Amino acid sequence: MGPHGDGDIEKIESESRRPISTVVFVIAMQAEAQPLVNKFGLSETSDSPLGKGLPWVLYHGLHKDLRIYVVCPGKDAASGMHFFFSLTSINGAGIDSVGTVPASLITFASIQALQPDILINAGTCGAFKVKGANIGDVFLVSDVVFHDRRIPIPMFDLYGVGLRQAFSTPNLLKELNLKIGRLSTGDSLDMSTQDESLIIANDATLKDMEGAAVAYVAELLKVPVIFLKAVTDLIDGDKPTAEEFLQNLAVVTSALEETATKVINFIHGKTLSDL
Amino acid sequence: MGPHGDGDIEKIESESRRPISTVVFVIAMQAEAQPLVNKFGLSETSDSPLGKGLPWVLYHGLHKDLRIYVVCPGKDAASGMHFFFSLTSINGAGIDSVGTVPASLITFASIQALQPDILINAGTCGAFKVKGANIGDVFLVSDVVFHDRRIPIPMFDLYGVGLRQAFSTPNLLKELNLKIGRLSTGDSLDMSTQDESLIIANDATLKDMEGAAVAYVAELLKVPVIFLKAVTDLIDGDKPTAEEFLQNLAVVTSALEETATKVINFIHGKTLSDL
């Protein structure tokens, strides 16, 4: 029942034997993307191939001969209007379009337009200290699930959880000495009792607002995806999530940029199967 | 801060003066779509303009000179594999890709490929009998919100709720004598305590799993959208949601088809501003 024909398998095999040439970073918040954009001297794409009149922001650049793109969902126009006379501690005016719907749209459109060899969903996350996480850790993700898609009908329940593997990168994991864990995704920054039960039932270490949606789209369009998630708040710590998130955002996005840079340097010149 | 330039306004004004020529129905479940597909004798599009190798199902046909498309997210390949040796009471093998992420993707791709004058998100929903709903009622939606995107940071909270108006159709509402109410969307079929608080705080009458995501994408791409939602289960009734949903699905989708047919007949030959 799978969508792979023999042609797909041949395509994947031949692609895994040539060096990776195009990487797309999918990043939800401008504040998470900016350090990486600065580090690699990426430029904002003016006539974006992702479509006209959209809030999406695309950056592009070259690192040696590796094409790097960073795509962000940009600011929400609807809340931006209310926001005009307000202030925020998160850089830039307006509200970043966080969550699964904008993330799935930019993933879809950037795969179609940019044909990347690999996607990297990078961002901040919450994590459990009982699972060994500390503030500022950058995790590689083993696999992803959703914790807010409860559909109590047989088989629909599994669809809702949506377990998917990240692309396996054993050499990258070892070389960069990263922590690894399962990521659980939901559209809320906070965690309801029912979210918590499902996160624990699924044995997740990390909690974010986009990962499993990015994985879903990557699987639909058959593009390998990995996840770099930097811990801004400890879910089982003693501080409120929103406060801890805002307090740690700047420092943690800098740690995320450092790891993403190491990942780019590791990827450069390698094939998918070298990872 | 809005994306509308003068050109957009002129475009919308000139479009609202010519008869509607293309309607796209966005429908999450095959069982919800089938009665409409049968009624209008629509054919499944073989070489789909929405993309290759995707599970999405597109139907097309003509009703007089009105082009009608029905797009469904199709069956989930991942859960389909597990499902192979199982059975379901919902028509066809496999699990329909319900929820906000697949709905937003098919809405995006079908707007891009089919350039509809208007979108209709049709489907089943839960509803509150205290707000005047009965099983089998077909509602027109006034506006939409999300109930499972809790982001307790100022302005992000409003972004999470994502209040959007449906395209205003006062003549359609009056002519078809439909009930009208606010729709609240979330990715779960059941309702957690926190979902319920938000649905009540937002004064919603209806609860579904796609509407607010379809509205989000329609607004991004500046296409008018209306919603027809048929009630399969009473949230404040005495039966479990999943059981009541499965029990009423067939009868209610038939009521949905009847109303959708009336809507198509009403739309035919009219301009957007006639609605």
Task: Supply the CATH number for residue B25's domain.
Answer: 3.40.50.1580
Task: State which amino acid sits at residue A143.
Answer: D
Cβ count near A89 (within 10 Å): 11
Contacts of A218 in chain B (CB under 8 A): none
Asked whether residue A111 is assigned to any structural domain, the reply reads yes
Q: What is the pTM of this model?
A: 0.92
B175: pLDDT strictly greater than 50: yes
Helix (H, G, I), strand (E, B) or coil at B63: strand
Are B152 and A189 in contact (CB < 8 Å)? yes
* Complex ipTM: 0.91
Are B150 and A81 in contact (CB < 8 Å)? no
Helix (H, G, I), strand (E, B) or coil at B132: coil
Cα separation, B25 vs B42, in Å, equals 12
Asked whether residue B2 is assigned to any structural domain, the reply reads no
Q: Quick check: B240 and B16 in contact, CB under 8 A? A: no
CA B103, chain centre distance (Å): 8
Asked whether residue A2 is assigned to any structural domain, the reply reads no
Asked whether residue B204 is assigned to any structural domain, the reply reads yes
Asked whether residue A120 is assigned to any structural domain, the reply reads yes
To probe the interface with A, which of B1, B30, B112 has the most A CB atoms within 10 Å?
Answer: B1
What pLDDT sits at residue A241?
85
Cα separation, B10 vs A269, in Å, equals 50
Are B152 and A98 in contact (CB < 8 Å)? no
Cα separation, A94 vs B1, in Å, equals 9
Cα separation, A271 vs A22, in Å, equals 11
Asked whether residue B4 is assigned to any structural domain, the reply reads no
Q: Work out the angle between the directed axes of helices A193-201 and B193-201 (0-180°, nearest 10).
A: 150
To probe the interface with B, which of A56, A96, A156 has the most B CB atoms within 10 Å?
Answer: A156
Are A78 and B188 in contact (CB < 8 Å)? no
B47: pLDDT strictly greater than 70: yes
Residue of A nearest to B189 (CA): A151
Distance from CA of A155 to the nearest CA of B (A): 7
Averaged confidence pLDDT in chain A: 90
Cα separation, B209 vs B146, in Å, equals 9
Task: State which amino acid sits at residue A223.
Answer: V
Helix (H, G, I), strand (E, B) or coil at B100: helix
pLDDT tens-digit map of B29-44:
999 999 999 999 999 9
Are B53 and A219 in contact (CB < 8 Å)? no
Out of A17-26, A112-121, B5-14, B140-149, pick the least confident.
B5-14
pLDDT tens-digit map of A81-92:
444 444 444 445
Asked whether residue B9 is assigned to any structural domain, the reply reads no
Residue of B nearest to A146 (CA): B187
CA atoms within 13 A on the CB side of B187: 30
Supply the range of the domain harboring residue B89.
20-274
Contacts of A28 in chain B (CB under 8 A): none
Q: How many separate domains does chain A show?
A: 1
Only one residue has tokens 């970073």, namely A25
Helix count and strand count (H, E) for chain B: 9, 10
Cα separation, B185 vs A188, in Å, equals 13
- Give me the active site residues of B, please: 32, 233
Asked whether residue B14 is assigned to any structural domain, the reply reads no
Residue among B55, B159, B222 minimizing CB distance to A95: B159
Out of A144-148, B6-10, B160-164, pick the least confident.
B6-10
Contacts of A194 in chain B (CB under 8 A): 192-194
CA distances from B58 to A158, B52, B229 (A): 25, 12, 20
Q: How sure is the predictor about A14, in pLDDT bands with cuts at 50, 70 and 90? A: low
Q: Quick check: A270 and A64 in contact, CB under 8 A? A: no
Contacts of A156 in chain B (CB under 8 A): 79, 95, 98, 189
Are B95 and A220 in contact (CB < 8 Å)? no
